[in-house]
Amino acid sequence: MGGGNPSIARSLALQILCEVERDIPLERALDQCLAGATLETRDRALLTHLVQGSIRLRRYLDWVIGHYTSRPVEDLPSPIRNTLRLAVYQLLYLDRIPDRAVVNDHVSLAFIHGHRGTAGLVNAVLRSFLRAGKRIPVVPRDDPVTAIGVETSHPDWLIRRWIRRFGENEARVLASAGNQIPEIVIRVNRLRASPEELRERLLRGGVETRQGEANPGVLYLSGAPSCVQDLPGFDDGWFQVQDESSSLVGLLAGPSPGNRVVDLCSGVGGKTSHLVEQMRDDGLVVAVDRAMWRLRRLRDNCRRLGVESVFALRADVTVVCVQPSDVVLLDAPCSGTGVLARRSDARWRREEADIPRLARLQSRMLAAASSLVKEGGWLVYSVCSLEPEEGEDVVHRFMSEHAGFRLENAGGWLPGTVVDGGGFLQTFPHHHGMDGIFAARLRKAGRGVGQ
């Protein structure tokens, strides 16, 4: 038993799942794996799909597996637990792969990462599942938190919060939105092309598009290859992969040509490049991040997009010292509850106790960011969280402690459909069809920018 050779994509998928369980962020584990592996485009797509799906539906998969094994799933060794998750995910959701091939591959993986006994366990569980006709055990309905949590594969603490805030029905719909496979969304780089030019080029390549409703400079793709690098216009820097909600933060920041801008927690440069685009590459954007690997990807993105007026700085946001600037953007680290469809590991890497801890960090970062704003300039604070403690509560606390700043209604820069009653940018996946995000624009008293 276990003498076969599993596919490279499945072997690497198992490796990534085990790394994520060791608290390595999925984005980083996946990037490192893809950079070091020689895979055909089809295998890269399969690898990404397997990893994202198995992590996104982890609790639901464990519920299924637990009814076909006498051992608690959490007591199994990590490679065996994740081998079963990968296999059951494929048996349930990937009908192009023969069941026999799925079983054989994962029995082999269990042998390689364990022994004959673990291979026998995986074989027994999978064959029992198939003999039962892939029967899914019924989830008890007596506890709505557990029922919704299992069926939508979310942790109880998050479902409990959403039920208190939105009610059971909406909590279920919101959680279900976090399990949708995200569309490929790109923002047109207007320094290189117009939306119309890019749409026409993509259509010639067999890719259909629809424009974003809140930002027409964003395109949703259908019929696109799974690897964005294969899209027409990628190498020429005609676009940047960016969700529509994220692009709205850049519009809210609204820098002008000649401005000096600081982008704190810049990441790989999605918002950074959008800021430069709005400035027509005239001025300076200082992109600040703690992680050198993210800054390296930011530089690569800027080169591809033809962006020149960016200075990348590795620093801690709470202690960074730069010249006071016209615009400061703080995209703060958060719980990520608004982007669970794209960051499938976030739901398992966070606990409820993280939210007040993150809110304290966000408050410190916002206070530090405010010191970098010149008189008459403005500060934009954003998080990809749906939790009010990380959004409006942080902003209201900041304003009570910093009398020199006032809130500006986001409706002055964005459509009313994405602005809530408090004047904040706020989107929800189940209402707006895009990632969930919160942002506020705060003006510092003093002379106008440029005076």
Q: Are β-strands 218-222 and 239-241 bridged in parallel, bridged antiparallel, or unpaired?
A: unpaired
157: helix, strand or coil: helix
Q: Say if residues 421 and 433 touch (Cβ distance below 8 Å).
A: no
- Which DSSP string corresponds to 35-86? HH----HHHHHHHHHHHHHHHHTHHHHHHHHHTS-SS-GGGS-HHHHHHHHH
CA–CA distance, 393 with 379 (Å, rounded to integer): 16
φ/ψ (deg, to 5) at 326: -65, -40
Q: How far is CA 360 from the centre of its chain?
A: 22
Neighbouring C-beta atoms of residue 281, cutoff 10 Å: 17
DSSP state of 419: B
Q: Say if residues 379 and 328 touch (Cβ distance below 8 Å).
A: yes
CA–CA distance, 336 with 355 (Å, rounded to integer): 10
Residues 6 or more apart whose Cβ sits within 8 Å of residue 129: 64, 68, 88, 91, 135
Residues 6 or more apart whose Cβ sits within 8 Å of residue 246: 270, 271, 384, 435, 437
Q: Which amino acid does the sequence have at 338?
A: G
Nearest C-alpha neighbor of 106 from the set 94, 123, 92? 123
Within 13 Å and on the Cβ side, how many CA atoms surround 423? 11
Active site members: 384
Three-state secondary structure string covering 359-427: HHHHHHHHHHHHCCEEEEEEEEEEECCCCCCCCHHHHHHHHHHCCCEEEECHHHCCCHHHECCCCCEEE
Tallying the residues shown for the chain, one arrives at 451
CA–CA distance, 327 with 376 (Å, rounded to integer): 10
Sign of the alpha-carbon dihedral angle for 243, 244, 246, 247: positive
Q: Say if residues 335 and 346 touch (Cβ distance below 8 Å).
A: yes
Question: Using DSSP, how many helices (H) and how many strands (E) does the chain show?
Answer: 18, 12
